[in-house]
Each structure stands twice: as structure tokens, then as C-alpha cells.
Amino acid sequence: MRYGIAVIGVLLFSAQVGLLAQQLETGAVSYVTAQHVYVKFASTKGIAVGDTLFLKKGSVLTPALVVTNKSSISCVCTPLAGVSVQPKDAISAKQTADTGLVPPAKPEPQKPPAPVPAAKLEPETRKPAPASVTPKQRIRARVSAASYSNISDRGQTTRMRYAFVFNGEHLNDSKFSTNAYVTFRHTLGEWSAVQDNLNNALKVYGLSATYHFNETTSLSAGRGINPKITNLGAVDGLQFETGFGHFYTGVLAGARPNLFDYSFDANLLQAGAYVGFGSKAHERHHQSTLGVVEQRNKLAVDRRFVYFQHSDELLENLNLFGSMEMDLYQLVNSEASMQPSLTNLFASLRYRFSRNWNLSLSYDNRKNIIYYESYKTYLDQLIDQETRQGLRLGMNMRPAKWLSCGLTGSWRFQKSKANDAKNLNSYLNFNRIPLLKASATLTANYLQSGYLNGTTFGLRLMKDVFKGKLNLELSYRRVDYTFPFYGYSTNQNIVGGSLTWSIFKKLGFYVFVENTFDSQGNDYLLVNTKLMQRF
């Protein structure tokens, strides 16, 4: 294990080599589903299937999405583990700069090139604006109302969910910014559950205000997630950060949200500090953060640990992302121990052999994730739970413009072999089908764990109608699962469809229907609707 940690450490701290001239293509998340994230660009000419897209927060780029399919102006992506994106989030794609010019046979360095007017420069090549320029206000907001109905022979339940998201940068062209992400959900006919504990219905995922002293120094108050130490989760309190050159440092003090209902909990105090080194805007991306955090429970030390996060383009076409946590304090049988213990580790490497072929390798032994809200089906939750941890190897190919495919294998292993799991997942995507003018995706999944064996086969058809105003999707899945320990098996036929309607430029409506026909007679129908207004 020590040698493994040493190897990972060498990778994470390896020298920055292989500089490559690059430029950023910036787009925005247009839609998010349970499985995919849709990102719209002005053009996807320089983006290939398998590329990693980055979530852009100010000048910080964080690996967030992997492209699985694309059109001329949009990409269909899957999110990386632990990453959450929302519609309108800024997404950047790194592309190799290609001017299309042929170099002269005999360079003439003594003859400087003719100056190019600043107005004709591409946005990526213009000089950064002076720090004294007044910041400009930028506001993005949305409100939505959604229903989630489950209808079966055992009855019907309908959950309602209302959400408000606001992101205001430099309000009134000032140094103040604020953001909010608040939801309220309840089950029809069960209002007493809301009265018993309002925090079970009201969820504040983000609510903070930030004052920017300058471009590199800021102070935030409220509930927020720090992109430099994302695995720490939300912090209720104060966060201060300042930078100098390529370096930055920060401190935080406050509390952790309640583990059961995500409300404010003054008993769960925490404080920490971190330092880091990263690239500036338009440079080859690399960022490292090292932090120390202490968490308490009713004033007693609950956890003290070191956190490290690193993302980098190690070589040309080779990308690395890793994070780890090492506990420095343990309380065993009422006795404190300072013996270091590696508690969370994630590392991912991706190499792009060409625009049409890439290979990825990752290892994940992070603890299970707590979901305060999840609208995935039982089948999708089961696959996520059984395949997230362990070793994973994946490959994506695009043999033709209209065809892409991928294969991913994962293996979760333990010394006791009590919780081993093997998974094989594949897809075949047809970007354009003649006559139908639609795209189709075939999927196959095999899962074997300590208590179940099963296969899933699926077909999904997607069609854009009326130039993006109306999108239709039809799906079918065949599920066959066996539970050897219980001597129980089942098969399901799952038929579904969805419609996305852009009523106006910023007003949209979405409806999803899925019917599950179960061999054991446990049929049920899911009906989800959502109305969203953006501002």
C-alpha cells in the first residue's frame, strides 16, 4: 500500500512538461438529466468524443464532464464522480490552437510580424483587462416547479419540488457577489411530515455572499462549497482566500451541515486552512491544493485530516485528476491515536491517442456518498452503488463521424472478498440515422456482486424537432437480475419517453414517463414533469 501511495504521489507532483499552445472554447450547460449533461457551444469543431470538459468558476477550471456524443453546436456528456453541474453553468473545452498557416521555409526572426489591431484579436488572445477596470454585473437565475409521481398496485405517491437558483456576480457593478440554491419538496397528502421537521422539506444547498477585495482576494460568508477543496462539502461560516502570482492560500471557519437533514448544526464545528498552486487563465491547466481541517462534535474532536486535490495536463493529451484524505486523529476504545490513516483516495488518468480514440483508468476507494435528494430509478441507484468504488478502465472510440462506441470495465475488490463486484458496460451511438434524422444509442450492462448477478440491455432514440424547440426521446430497457442468496430472480421490461419543449427563450417544460413491467407482478409507472423559468 505504501508503494502504491508513493507512485500516486509521484504522479500527482510530477513536473509540468509538454507545453502545448491551447485556447478555450466556452459554452454553457443547457440541460441536465439523471444520466447526461447537455452543453451548448458556438461550435464543437475542436471537441472530440472522450474529451474532458471543465467547469469554469471565475478563472478556475475544474474537470467536470466527459463527452460521449456531439453535434455541430452541442455535446452530450456524463459527469465525473462527485461533480454536480446546473443549467447555465459555464463550461470550457480546451482545444489545440490551429492557425492553419504553413511556416516559412526560412524563418526571419529579425523581421517582426505586422501588428494586429486589438479589435480583430480573438477573445482568448487579447491581453487581460487591468485590475482597475470596474467589474461588470452578471446575473443568472431560475425558478422551477416539478412533480414526481409513482403509480402502482400498492397506491400512488406524488412528490412536489420547487427550486430557486440565483447567481449574482458583482451586483450593480460592485465588489459584492451572492448565490443561492434553495429547494422545497413535499409529498402530497403528507403535510404533517413537513410540520414535524421543516428541514426535511426545505433544503438550502447554497446561500452565501462574497466581497472581492481584488481579483485574487475575497471573503465569503454563508453556506458554500469551495472549488479548491470540493470533497469537504458545504461550509457554514466564513471562507477567506488570497492569491499572489501562481500561488493561493485560504482559511475557513464555521460548521458542517447536519448529517440527517442538511440543516445548520452549531454542534458540528470545523476549521481549516489550505495552500495551493495553479495556472492562470489561458495557461496549460494545472492546480494543486493541500489543506488541513479539524472537525468537532459538541466541542470534542471528531476528525482531523489532511486533504489533497490535484488536476493537471501532465503531457500532451494526458490528463490527471486525483484527491486524497488522510486522517491524523482517531479515537479507539476512548484512547486517542495520532497514527496517520488513508481514508479516501481517488485518482484518474486519461490519454487521448487521437481525436477519435481515448483511454481512461481510475481508482476509487472513497466512502459512500450521502444523497439528500435522488430521483434516479432503483436500477440506476443499484448500478451506481455497486460500481462507483474500485478499479475502472474505459475506452471510447469514434470510427466514423456518425458512429461512436465505448467500453468500461470496473472491479471492486476486498481482502475478505465479501463485497467484490464486477461490472462491464458498453454503448454504441449512431449520431445520424437516415430518414429518421435522429440519433440512437444501444447500451449493455453486466453486473456481478456478492448478492446479485444481472444484465441490462437498452435502446434510446433521440430526435430534435422544430430546430431545438421540441426534443423527443424514446427508450426501452430489458433487465434480468438474480439474487442467489435469496433464491429470487426477476426480469423487467422498461418502456419510457420524454418531451422537452422550449416554450419561449427562457421558459421550458419537460415531461418524462416510464412504465416498468415486472415478471413478479410489481408493475409501476413513473411520471415526472418540470416547468422552468430562467432569468
pLDDT recorded at residue 374: 63
Residue type, 259: L
DSSP assignment, residue 503?
-
Q: What is the pLDDT along the chain (535 residues), one digit of tens a residue?
A: 333 433 334 333 333 333 233 345 778 887 676 567 878 777 776 777 667 787 766 555 677 787 776 766 778 777 765 567 777 777 887 643 333 333 333 333 333 333 333 333 333 333 334 444 567 899 999 999 999 999 988 889 999 999 999 999 999 999 999 999 999 999 999 999 999 999 999 999 999 999 999 988 999 999 998 888 877 889 999 999 999 888 999 999 999 999 889 999 999 999 999 999 988 766 777 889 999 999 999 988 988 999 998 888 888 789 898 889 999 987 777 778 888 888 888 899 999 998 889 999 999 887 766 666 666 666 666 666 666 678 999 999 999 888 999 999 988 876 656 678 888 999 999 988 877 788 999 999 998 887 778 899 999 999 988 777 899 999 999 999 888 777 788 899 999 999 999 999 889 999 999 999 988 888 989 999 999 999 8
Gap between the Cα atoms of 24 and 340, Å rounded: 41
User: Buried (b) or exposed (e) across 61-100, using 16+ Cβ within 10 A?
Assistant: bbbbbbbbbbeeebbbbebbeeeebebebbbbbbbeeeee
- Alpha-carbon distance of 306 to 291, in angstroms, equals 6
339 three-state secondary structure: coil
Phi-psi category of 172—alpha, beta or left, where left has phi over 0 and alpha has psi -120 to 50? left
Contact between 70 and 82 under an 8 Å Cβ cutoff? The reply is: no
Phi, psi of 257 (to 5 degrees): -65, 155
Residue 271 contacts residue 293 (beta carbons within 8 Å): yes
- For residue 116, the model assigns a pLDDT of 35
| Contact criterion met (CB below 8 Å) for 530 and 510 | yes
- DSSP code for 10: H
Q: List the chain domain ranges.
A: 1-16+232-351, 22-96
Strands 176-187 and 90-96: unpaired
Q: First CA to last CA across the chain, in angstroms?
A: 51
* Cα–Cα dist 142/164, whole Å: 6
Which residues contact residue 149 at a Cβ distance below 8 angstroms, ignoring those fewer than 6 apart? 156, 157, 158, 159, 525, 526, 527, 528
Alpha helix (H) ranges present in 113-190? none
Residues 221 and 105: their CA atoms lie apart, in Å, by: 59
Cα–Cα dist 431/378, whole Å: 29
Distance CA 374, CA 381 (A): 9
Q: Which residue, among 39, 70, 74, 36, has the nearest Cα to 431 in the 3D structure? A: 70
The pLDDT of residue 468 is 74
3-state SS assignment for residue 381:
helix
How far apart are the C-alpha atoms of 226 and 270, rounded to whole Å?
14
* Residue 145 in grid coordinates: 416547479
**Cell 468504488 -> residue:** 389
| Strand positions, DSSP E, 466-487 | 470-483
Question: What's the confidence (pLDDT) of residue 121?
Answer: 32
Residues paired with 511 in a beta bridge? 499, 529
> Cα–Cα distance between 330 and 337 in angstroms, integer?
5
- Looking only at the bridges linking them, the beta strands covering 52-57 and 90-96 are antiparallel
CATH fold of 22-96: Elongation Factor Tu (Ef-tu); domain 3 (2.40.30)
Q: Do the strands 90-96 and 507-518 form a parallel or antiparallel pair, or are they unpaired?
A: unpaired
Contacts of 460 (CB under 8 A, 6+ apart): 440, 441, 443, 473, 474, 475, 476
pLDDT for the residue 18: 33
What string of DSSP letters covers 271-282?
EEEEEEEE--TT
The overall pTM is greater than 0.75:
no
